[in-house]
């Protein structure tokens, strides 16, 4: 089952482990960590809100919202031709 998570980044594996725990309340944190091939403390920190995914962390540094970015891309593509 660990092969399923082999091609994921560490952040994605942490998210997957948290999701496994939510879907299977009887699954221990340590077992989820073993399944996803990450350290148990990574899951613990994510659950307590002490760490965030790279996507969540980088969104706070963005100057444009995703909607504004999409509009700008459409505009650029429209006038690129």
List, for residues 35-59, the tens digit of each pLDDT value: 999 999 989 888 877 666 667 667 7
**Mean predicted confidence (pLDDT) in 21-25:** 92
With cut-offs at 50, 70 and 90, classify the pLDDT of residue 33: very high
With cut-offs at 50, 70 and 90, classify the pLDDT of residue 80: confident
Q: How many residues comprise the chain?
A: 81
pTM: 0.60
Provide the domain count of the chain: 1
C-alpha to C-alpha distances, 54 to 14, 57, 71, 74, 77, nearest whole angstrom:
11, 5, 23, 25, 28
Those residues whose C-beta lies under 8 Å from the C-beta of residue 8, and which sit 6 or more positions away, are 16
Domain span holding position 63: 2-78
Please report the beta strands in 1-81, taking only residues with DSSP state E, as ranges in sequence order.
none
């Amino acid at each position: 089952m660990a092969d399923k998570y082999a091609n994921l980044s560490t952040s994605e594996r942490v998210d997957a482990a948290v999701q496994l725990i939510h879907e299977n309340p009887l699954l221990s944190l340590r077992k989820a960590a073993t399944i996803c091939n990450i350290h148990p403390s990574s899951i613990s920190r994510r659950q307590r809100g002490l760490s965030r995914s790279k996507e969540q962390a980088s969104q706070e540094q963005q100057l444009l919202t995703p909607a504004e970015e999409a509009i700008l891309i459409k505009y650029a593509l429209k006038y690129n031709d």
